[in-house]
Structure 1
């Protein structure tokens, strides 16, 4: 996939996702499938040649979506509410593009420091003692180096 196709397919995917979320209530909340339903619908061996993007998206609707529990449906009342939003999806896309692994400050200063600042925000919202806040004097907070 080159840059031009990525741009085109990305726009198509945004449309697919927006249409899915806009119309999710029209899908059955819980899938009407039995355990093992998927195996007979996909090849027994990994393909030797790539499939087209259009074929993959057709398979998403034909093979994958029938086995999905639609957590975003307004009729889904189990477990806990799905917490995805359009801004979160855009942020996930950016995060995937950057592909940062923030296991230490040296691996990614911005990633590590943003995590620390945001955890401080959360700690303050939860009224945790100052010892839990990285941006203050004390024994807590921070990241493992």
Structure 2
């Protein structure tokens, strides 16, 4: 049984900026990849100050956008990739690929399009419950992907 692909993006958002800071995605065999993202200079405010964001850490530890785009092209070509539907995922994916002048190799859809037997509120409640019951920090994108994988497993969509 093919395993659905999932993606979660953490991001910085203020009145003036919105950009991704970390991303995680699942592979066809259920493994996950996660990376911190080095921001594009165009995304940053002129004064370089962002509350609650360690830009030095992002610049030092983050993966350059071209490397991230190549990895996503290798791992998710022509796939439908599911998200929790809570974040501005399409905008964030567009920011990543626009910065390197590439098209996204996948199409985004929300988890309620994959699991059609439950409404989005019920799915979100169940996802949060899985995060909490497993002691997972909801701010980490790999935990968001893991919770979606567990949800898909509960619904019989994967044999992980």
Q: Name the TM-score, length of structure 1 as normaliser.
A: 0.25
Larger radius of gyration: 1
Q: Report 1 or 2 for greater relative contact order, CA contacts < 8 Å, sequence distance ≥ 6.
A: 2
Q: Which of the pair is proportionally richer in helix?
A: 1
Q: Which of the pair is proportionally richer in strand?
A: 2
